[in-house]
Amino acid sequence: MTNADRYSQIYGSEAQAYDHLVTHEDYQGNLWRALEGLAEWKGSTVVEFGAGTGRLTRLFADRAAHVVACDASPEMLRVARQHLRRELYPHVEFTVAEHRDVPVYASADIAIAGWALGHYIHFSAGNWRECADQAVERMLSSVRAGGVVMIIETLGTGRREPEAPSAELAELYQRFESLHGFQRLEIRTDYRFASHADAVDSVRFFFGETLAESVRAAESAVVPECTGIWHRRRAGHRA
Ligand SMILES: C[S@@+](CC[C@H](N)C(=O)[O-])C[C@H]1O[C@@H](n2cnc3c(N)ncnc32)[C@H](O)[C@@H]1O
């Protein structure tokens, strides 16, 4: 099974198991602390690309005034809707959309994508650079002048020191910085599971047998992880 097949299967029909995995991620709360420092969330309009089951959406939904959470997978958004029920979150709307077709709300304050753009390397292997560049442009055109764009991607699950897990991801991150003008912030987003057995099973489900084996050997319910947040403001006078 190729990586593209595996991820298609997970996002198409195993969204609940994916959600179990990510609700154990970043047990130290470093992600929100970092995001909070990069933009003014209170009262903001946010467009999210690749929202999945709404793990990030849940971090900012209480602060934002309006959220448009997009994803190509209706199944992932179905689970997100269960977390962010309409009665409690009437200001959060969900839209099935490929990144490059996300409706452009040129007046958003923030555009954010978590662990979603890097998948072009799997799903569009022949032209991932072009696709990723177009998705970044879409994010930039979604925000007003002075609005903030944030792209979160992996710098290694199972790692204590940040490093892009593949040559393709290293190149993608280089493009974010040198071609699109983003700055990189590095944080730890370690997982903590209820038990060592759950850590092994959850890691195997998403990351495969090799990483699951090293988690088993570590005999811990904590799995280290490094994450990058690429961020920039759209040019313009309003900050
Ligand atoms: C690793 S998950 C991340 C989900 C969520 N942002 C999170 O932090 O848990 C990747 C998500 O990106 C979505 N995705 C991947 N490629 C996409 C594309 N080209 N357009 C829209 N969504 C995409 C998948 O359906 C999946 O929900």
- Secondary structure of the chain in the HEC alphabet? CCHHHHHHHHHHHCHHHHHHHHCCCCCCCHHHHHHHCCCCCCCCEEEEECCCCCCCHHHHCCCCCEEEEEECCHHHHHHHHHHCCCCCCCCEEEEECCHHHCCCCCCEEEEEEECCHHHHHHHCHHHHHHHHHHHHHHHHHHEEEEEEEEEEEEEEECCCCCCCCCHHHHHHHHHHHHHCCCEEEEEECCEECCCHHHHHHHHHHHHCHHHHHHHHHHCCCEECEEEEEEEEECCCCCC
Distance between CA atoms of residues 75 and 79, nearest Å: 7
Q: What is the mean pLDDT of the chain?
A: 96
Closest CA to 100 of 150, 143, 140, 135: 135
Which of 11, 23, 31, 78 is the best mutation target for the ligand 1 pocket, counting ligand atoms within 8 Å of the beta carbon and taking the most?
Answer: 11
Dist. CA 148–CA 112, nearest whole Å:
8
Query: pLDDT (tens digit, 9 = 90+) per residue, 109-126?
Result: 999 999 999 999 999 999
Rounded mean pLDDT of 80-90? Answer: 97
CA nearest to 119, candidates 56, 50, 23:
50
Domain presence at residue 225:
no
Residue 79 inside a domain? The answer is yes
How far does residue 167's CA lie from ligand 1's centre (Å)?
21
Q: Which residue has the higher pLDDT, 95 or 236?
A: 95
Report if residue 80 sits inside a domain.
yes
Write the residue with the smallest CA distance to atom 4 of ligand 1.
52
Look up residue 6 and give its two tokens: 């595996």
- How many domains is the chain partitioned into structurally? 1
Residue 95 structural domain: 3-155+165-190
In a domain, 92, yes or no: yes
Band of pLDDT at residue 236, cut at 50, 70 and 90: confident
**Is residue 19 in some structural domain?**
yes
Q: Write out the two tokens for 31.
A: 């992600």
Ligand 1: residues within 6 Å at CB?
11, 22, 50-52, 55-56, 71-73, 76, 98-99, 114-116, 119, 123
Instruction: Give the number of other Cβ atoms within 10 Å of residue 166's Cβ.
Output: 12
Residue 41 included in any domain = yes
Q: Is residue 64 in some structural domain? A: yes
- Say yes or no to pLDDT of 238 above 60: no
Instruction: Quote the pTM value.
Output: 0.97
Q: What does residue 186 show for φ and ψ, rounded to 5 degrees?
A: -110, 135
For residue 21, the domain's CATH number is 3.40.50.150
In a domain, 200, yes or no: no
pLDDT digits (tens, 9 = 90+) for 16-65: 999 999 999 999 999 999 999 999 999 999 999 999 999 999 999 999 99
Mutate to test the pocket of ligand 1, among 115, 151, 153 (most ligand atoms within 8 A of CB): 115
CA distances from 158 to 47, 99, 154, 194, 223 (A): 30, 28, 11, 17, 6
From atom 15 of ligand 1, which residue's Cα is the shortest distance away?
116
d(CA 157, CA 160): 8
Q: How many CB atoms lie within 10 A of CB 7?
A: 16
